[in-house]
A and B are shown apart, each in its own frame.
Chain A
Amino acid sequence: MSVAESTRAVVLDPAGYQFPENQRRLIRWTLYIGYFALAAGVAHGFAQGLSYANIDVLRYFPGLRDYYQGLTAHGVANALFFTFTFSNAFLPLLTARALGRPMITGFLHATLWTLVAANITVIWAVTTGRATVLFTAYAPLQAHWAYYLGLVLLVVSTYIASAHLYVMLARWRKEHPGERIPLLAFISVISYVMWDLASVGIAVSFIGFLLPWSLGILERTDPLLNRTLFWFTGHAIVYAWLLPAYISWYALVPRQTNGKLVSDPLTRVVFIMFLLLSIPTGFHHQYTDPGISTNLKMFHAVLTFGVFYPSLATAFSVVAAMEIGGRRNGGGGLLGWIRKLRWDDPSFTAQVLAMITFVLGGITGLINASYLVNQIVHNTAWIPGHFHMTVGSAVALTLMGVAYWIIPYLTDRKLWGRKFAVAQSWIYTIGVLIMARGLISGGLEGMPRRTFRVAANYGRDSWELAGALTGIGGTLMTVGAVMFFIVIVMTIVAGKKGEGPKDIPFAETLIPASRDGWDAKLDRLRLWTIAAVVLVLIAYAPFFITYLPARLISPGYNFF
């Protein structure tokens, strides 16, 4: 293998690399925790969709019959546990593969067992009705301390996984001085650098305020400060969910359809932009909040438009990469290449449908960020309409698509029910589009989110169709999700042994990494991290300087 060839791949050693079985098993079980969480979350999502259609199925549920208790479970399980368990498994695996070295087993154990502890603690608090405060946990609604502790443990598990990435990268750099970091490792590591920085907000809020307050050490707390700290993390957290999906779109999906990643340096630039701009945008979730200056809100609006930019660049890159594949597969004409993509591969199909849905998710997101326009849609059903097309499909469907190769890869079993799995992602996508159509139109007519509609004492005629579409779409999504679980379980128990893929599907690049010029400076992670910290300070210091000290004014309320 020549040097030129090696720099074209997104990994160091394209020839092949095998992880030891014990490490595959630990990665597998980390992923299973996430699928378990997804199953629990989906069950309640089904009831919520039907509630918008004025149908109450909760009364037939074996547990979690309270709407808001189930809504808490839905948010925590789907948005927090499903996403972060995936990242905790996926990013170390990709980084190690990219660097051509084994993972560190101790870190894998520590990540997994911390996740298990987090799960047990949160499940206990939520199922016993001690934490019906939703996943946003806005004070002064007060949950049992176990809820806050469990979520802190979840964050700790991401820190352990991050440390794992940093140690692997540091060791590799020591052994390969002056070399460019393989692209797949670079984008994996930078994703968790962003998250580590972003998570400072909820870490301070949960450890500094909510946990001592729920334990009775602090008698009162500051609602606005905690809310602001939550949203310091709360927007960047969606990028922490999304970036692993982007990694798959950039570095893996092209290979799955015979294409090539267009540009190594531009991909690095996109991920650096996410590190810089994901965090200093949090006030766009607080446009309608009192106590925050409108100038600062406008500043965050500008930066939010900025963080839309790398996603725009991604839209071009990933489509161009697929076009290369479609044309190599024999597709001609302006659009003929689309038919020649690997639509028979469930892993590919799920991820392309995720990308298509994300176009609508991105556009609605830009509308939310549009300052005054936010007053029309804030906290209406429009918002869950939007984010089910981002985290609920761009992320969820991509994670399902990845499962269709990673579970066979980790178990060395053939994927069960290939055609069934292809149908799964179509059904889920059609479901999410119908549901989002319902929620979005209802939201524009004032239908609120986070509300047990079946039992509400108010309503509008115009919400009827919107609610019905939400119920129909939600039901289809549930069917799609159940089909996903069937494929995964059947693969694990009945997939043909010894017929799994032998390596991860990494792509090659059209424009490779260069060793010299400013291109090589892109790898200076420390420099980019410092720049990100400075930007965060500029964006948030004006608030904290004029607001602090904390106003400890609110006792805890247990209204559930």
Chain B
Amino acid sequence: MRVHQYEKAFLWLGAIMLVAFMIALLVTSVAMGIHLPGRAGEVDPLSINSIEPFNNPGVREVGPGRYEVVLLGSAWSWNPSEIRVPAGSEVTFLAASTDVIHGLHIDRTRVNMMLIPGQISRNTYRFERPGEHLLICHEYCGAGHHLMSGKVIVE
């Protein structure tokens, strides 16, 4: 196939660029240890209120500077709706939905997970600076979706 030399150069440049981006992503994920949510177990949405640890939503200290937040999303509120953690702490979120699909986003952080009935969503994040973040449901979950919000206060 005859390809014009400029076009050839452009196609090579594009390929190199895409490979470079890909390598950068691999480095941040593997070498820097930043992860997406993955498989973290399953939980029956209809009996979730009697299943550990979701029968006891809230914030727990699990080690020095390490916290676990068990969070339930239901139409149209978060339980708990206010989360307080000290600055510099590493927080693991364990979240699940009791009814429909919800989205969990803590603004200005990379805590951003879907809550899908039947699945446990888990991710870890270190809150460096004191301040107040919004806890937003970012997936449409019915008529009151825009009222489903809370706060994360870093003290």
Contact = CB atoms under 8 A, between A and B. Distances in A.
A369 to B, nearest CB: 9
A451 B145 contact: yes
A456 B149 contact: yes
Contacts of B62: none
A317 B44 CA distance: 52
A372 B36 contact: yes
B100 A140 contact: yes
B139 interface: yes
A66 B110 contact: no
Interface in B82-138: 99-101, 103, 105, 107-108, 110-122, 134, 136-138
Given A223-B117, A320-B7, A452 B35 contact: no
Interface string A289-308: 11111100110011001101
A451 B107 CA distance: 15
B46 A559 contact: no
A378 B118 contact: no
A419 interface: no
B97 to A, nearest CB: 8
A218 B101 CA distance: 19
A456 B118 CA distance: 28
Given A448-B138, A450-B145, A141 B100 contact: yes
A371 B37 contact: no
Interface residues of B, number: 63
A223 B36 contact: no
A446 B140 CA distance: 15
Interface stretch (A143-151, A251-259, A261-269, A391-399): A261-269
Given A265-B1, A294-B36, A370 B25 contact: yes
Interface string A445-466: 1101111110111101000000
Contacts of A294: 35-36, 38
A227 B101 contact: yes
A205 interface: no
A12 B151 CA distance: 65
B152 to A, nearest CB: 12
Contact of B139 (A269, A450, A554): A450
Nearest to B112: A375
B25 A551 contact: no
A290 B71 CA distance: 14
A298 B145 contact: no
B38 A222 contact: no
B116 A223 contact: yes
B25 A291 contact: no
A290 B121 contact: yes
Given A224-B118, A554-B117, A451 B38 contact: no
A451 B36 contact: no
A553 B117 contact: yes
A308 B18 contact: yes
Contact of A66 (B21, B140, B143): B143
Contact of A372 (B21, B25, B99): B25
Given A375-B110, A554-B118, A141 B142 contact: yes
A318 B13 CA distance: 17
B36 A379 contact: no
Contacts of B146: 451-453, 455-457
Contacts of B3: 263, 266
B39 A291 contact: yes
Contact of A456 (B4, B99, B147): B147
Q: Which secondary structure dominates where chain A touches chain B? A: mixed
A246 interface: no
Contacts of A370: 21, 25
A453 B149 CA distance: 12
Nearest to A553: B118
Contact of B18 (A293, A298, A305, A451): A305
Interface string A372-389: 111110111000000000
Given A308-B18, A375-B36, A290 B122 contact: yes
A372 B45 contact: no
Interface in A438-487: 445-446, 448-453, 455-458, 460
A269 B115 CA distance: 40
A360 to B, nearest CB: 17
Contacts of A559: 75, 99-100, 141-144
Nearest to A72: B140
A291 B43 CA distance: 11
A54 interface: no
B40 interface: yes
B142 A557 contact: yes
A288 B36 contact: yes
A288 B116 contact: no
Contact of B143 (A301, A317, A456, A560): A560
B56 interface: no
B75 A551 contact: no
Given A263-B7, A308-B18, A448-B137, 16 more contacts: A138-B140, A227-B101, A266-B3, A286-B114, A289-B119, A291-B39, A312-B14, A372-B36, A379-B105, A448-B136, A452-B145, A452-B146, A456-B147, A457-B147, A519-B1, A559-B141
29 contacts: A68-B145, A140-B100, A222-B118, A223-B116, A262-B4, A269-B1, A288-B112, A291-B42, A292-B38, A294-B36, A297-B38, A298-B26, A312-B14, A313-B11, A366-B21, A370-B21, A378-B138, A380-B105, A446-B105, A446-B107, A446-B136, A455-B147, A456-B146, A458-B136, A551-B42, A554-B117, A554-B118, A555-B46, A557-B99
Interface of B: 1-4, 6-7, 10-11, 14-15, 18, 21-22, 25-26, 28-29, 34-40, 42, 44-46, 75, 99-101, 103, 105, 107-108, 110-122, 134, 136-147, 149
Interface of A: 66, 68, 71, 132, 134, 138, 140-141, 222-224, 227, 262-263, 265-266, 269, 286-294, 297-298, 301-302, 305-306, 308-309, 312-313, 316-317, 320, 366, 370-376, 378-380, 445-446, 448-453, 455-458, 460, 511, 518-519, 551, 553-555, 557, 559-560
